[in-house]
Amino acid sequence: MRTYQPMLDRATTPLRGPKPHWLTGNLAEFRKDRLAFFVRCAKEYGDIVPLRLMRYRILLLSRPDLIEDVLVTQSKNFVKHFGLRLYRPLLGDGLVTAEGDHWRRQRKLSAPAFQASRIAAYAKTMVAVTFRMLDVWQQSPGVRDVHDDLSRATMEIACATLFGDDRGADPAAVGRALTDAMEALSHRWSRTIPLPAWAPTPENLLFRRATRQIERIVRQIVDRKRAAGNRDGNDLLSALLQAQDENGSAFTDAQLLDEVRTIFLAGHETTALALTYSLHLLAENPEAQAKLQAEVDSVLNGRPPEYADMDRVPYTRSVVTESMRLFPPADFLGREAIADCTVGGIRVPKGTNLFMSEWVMHHDERYFRDPWSFDPDRWTPAFERSLPRFVYFPFGAGPRYCIGQTFASAEAVLGLAAICQHFRFAPDPTFTLELWPGITLRPRRGLRLIVSARNA
């Protein structure tokens, strides 16, 4: 059993952290490169590091038992952190942003939409849409922005699985609106003193236009579905429309719109990123790419992948797992204390925000040998059993883990199998990957690779 370093005597040893600016605290370093900043804090100051962002007091936690204490043992003492509340105008009061009894009811109502039997049916759509993207690559190989291509494909999958045969959602239009909204929020918080959301700044105006467009598209589709009376389809929206709690109550219109927006926007983004970074890593590691292609060729023997193949392609699954270790969809989780409590032997006053960084934990040499290297072979059953809980958590953890985890995993594994069945990838020597940590960990300028057909 893995042991942890003993806790400091908090009565005699104060917590140490980087020196804050008198006004802005550690905001400048956080904004400049929060990935490197969090890693440096954990290395230099230990597993509990005090920070300050403007008026917000932060503790950065970098040890699995501390993370478990916050996300599981004492989860009722915390709500989502202050930064995530910025996204409520975009996501509404859906599962990502809702709290308390409202969240628990939403979660229970949404659960049937993500049953394994439904995901098995969605798998055919996932693969069919992926092959449509591959048809485009077949016609136009060479240097491509694979992140842009994959984002379009996963958005189309989200439209098809969420809305069924409804053609009212244009994946490209929703994708542009989502990008505009996220960029607007990023620009808003790049200011030394962030201006309020109501101020008529260019980024605020762009954000409002983008969120209105997304809400209009979703509302039209939900209204059309309700009017048609078709609630028996295999799509996620039909499942949400059928959902009732123990009292026979269903989603209100407002709740339904919020959940659809959350599933639609958050769902496609995670898978697009997992596939994008998987292809990037395979392009940088030709031996791993060849091993994955050999597995896919042996298992599929030329046919399209199916949901039943999920357990037949363990190396492909390991590539996705390792990709999400090196490039987690979100680089940190945050919780805000709603009551005074104690974590790791220290007092946490109400209002303190606790940050737990997937980026830090996934690259911690205490748990991962050569943590910055791409090594899918590390994910043996024995290694996974030895890994403490809350060291690897790309889909979150505790009661609020991502409800779409199984959906996203199936989409990523089957999509990667289909892609590598027909194409090979090499780095574009003129391109350098630059990460953009926002609500998700995106490539700032896309991700260009040299794409070529394997049968060429």
pLDDT for res 242: 79
Quote the tokens at residue 69. Answer: 């204490």
Q: What is the pTM of this model?
A: 0.91
Round the average pLDDT of the chain to a whole number and report it.
87
Q: What are the tens digits of pLDDT across the range 9-19?
A: 343 357 999 99
Q: Which amino acid is at 144?
A: R
Q: Which residue has 């440096």 as its token pair?
A: 40
Q: Which residue has 């598209």 as its token pair?
A: 217
Q: What are the tens digits of pLDDT across the range 277-297?
A: 999 999 999 999 999 999 999
From CA 282, how far away is CA 287, in angstroms rounded? Answer: 8
Sign of the dihedral defined by the CA atoms of residues 89, 94, 96, 99, in that order = positive
Quote the tokens at residue 371. Answer: 């943590």
Segment 382-390 mean pLDDT: 95
The CB density around residue 356, as the number of other CB atoms within 10 Å, is 26
Strands lying side by side in the sheet with 353-356 = 48-53, 56-61, 353-356, 333-337, 78-80
pLDDT for res 168: 54
Closest CA relative to residue 151, chosen from 159, 163, 143: 159
Contact call for residues 197 and 89 (beta carbons, < 8 A):
yes
Q: What are the tens digits of pLDDT across the range 339-381?
A: 999 999 999 999 999 999 999 999 999 999 999 999 999 999 9
Helix axis angle, 146-163 to 253-284, nearest 10° = 150
Closest CA relative to residue 127, chosen from 172, 85, 161, 94: 161
Sign of the dihedral defined by the CA atoms of residues 61, 62, 65, 67, in that order = positive
Closest CA relative to residue 51, chosen from 301, 353, 261: 353
Asked if residue 248 has pLDDT above 50, the reply is yes
What kind and span of H or E run contains 449? strand 448-453
Q: How many helices and strands, by DSSP H and E, does the chain display? A: 15, 12
pLDDT for res 3: 36
From CA 26, how far away is CA 406, in angstroms rounded? Answer: 37
Work out the percent of the chain whose per-residue pLDDT is above 70. Answer: 91
Q: What are the tens digits of pLDDT across the range 58-82?
A: 999 999 999 999 999 999 999 988 8
